[in-house]
Amino acid sequence: MTIIEHYIMAGIQRLVVTLVGFLIVIFASYCAQRYLTEAANGTLALSVVLDVVFYKVLIALEMLLPVGLYVAVGVTLGQMYTDSEITAISAAGAAPSRLYRAVMFLAIPLSILVTLLSLYGRPWAYAQIYQLEQQSQSELDVRHLQARKFNVNNNGRMILAWQIDPDAAHLNNALIYTASGNKTSIFRANSVDVVDPSPTTPSVMLHSGTAYILDHQGSDDNEQVFRHLKLNLKPFARNDDVKRKAKSLELLSRSSESADAAELQWRESRGVCALLMALLAIPLSRVRPRQGRFTTLLPLTLLFVIIFYGGNICRTLVANGALPVTPGLWLIPLFMLTGLFFLLIHDGTLLRKIHR
């Protein structure tokens, strides 16, 4: 590795660190605001917010790292074109392939890191998030419920209590709302004791109250006055998409479902896409002297939008069975590789014309 590669890599590295750091702060702030709102509404325990934000950032790194390198390559080389540094390097006899060599010294290790994050870090983080949400979003974990507020979870259940004793798992003057199928149930009780706090088999004991069952499709409504009533609540429902994202590679590879195949291809293709994105940024970074390094941002942005939405569309089509598993999501890397091939041919033709 010569001084040319070192010089190019140093400029790209500085910008990558700055961009990725900035993106992490922005993304973490957004996640913190979202989950703090859920904690304030009583749908998530405040103690797990920081953990969930950490896992969300870990998941997002498989996207933030390639984007940071992609933009850094385009902007750094664009600045070098603007300052005529690339022209000076070429005049010194350096081949254009030196640009690709310098970028690949950074892109290959980063693409390997992205692959590992996508294959192992991402499913692990999703599994941790689900476990935390399952533990905190059960209504029977009264530690995160707030008195005199509507505490709602993802299953559509709501608890309102005038007083809450978290140590004794006891609620005073409570209202519980549940919905199942075509019926809505409302329970009003002077006091409520937690019988089973498990998220899988949650149950409570209601004391001195009234139960109302409302039939949505008929007139089978009824009212029941009780002194003691044991109520088995619906357990926390796992989102199928989150469940799939938390699956191991072994389970995905054995599955015959198209949605699992789409998830597996998404994980496997992230590192390849990261490498190809960095290489595509090299020809797109070319600008005329004194034109401005940010001139490259428009084509870079357009290409990223095509790659990002194209990948999501292909994943959805494969999951729905509308697109064959072969080539499936690998259509996007093939499209990127084809575009890179034509850009390299164009660069070679352009260079031959310049040197005539």
Give the integer Cα–Cα distance in Å for 317 and 257. 13
- Beta carbons of 207 and 228 less than 8 angstroms apart: yes
- Beta carbons of 225 and 244 less than 8 angstroms apart: no
User: What pLDDT is attached to residue 135?
Assistant: 65
User: What pLDDT is attached to residue 330?
Assistant: 94
Q: What is the pTM of this model?
A: 0.75
User: What pLDDT is attached to residue 210?
Assistant: 93
User: What pLDDT is attached to residue 353?
Assistant: 43
Which residue numbers in the chain have pLDDT < 70? 1, 41-45, 94, 134-141, 154-155, 199, 236-242, 289-294, 347-356
Give the integer Cα–Cα distance in Å for 260 and 246. 11
How many other CB atoms are found less than 10 A from the CB of residue 102? 24
Query: 222 - beta bridge partners?
Result: 213
The token pair at 218 is 């008929």
The token pair at 240 is 């199928």
| Backbone torsions φ then ψ of 330, nearest 5 degrees | -70, -5
User: What pLDDT is attached to residue 36?
Assistant: 85
Average per-residue pLDDT for the chain: 84
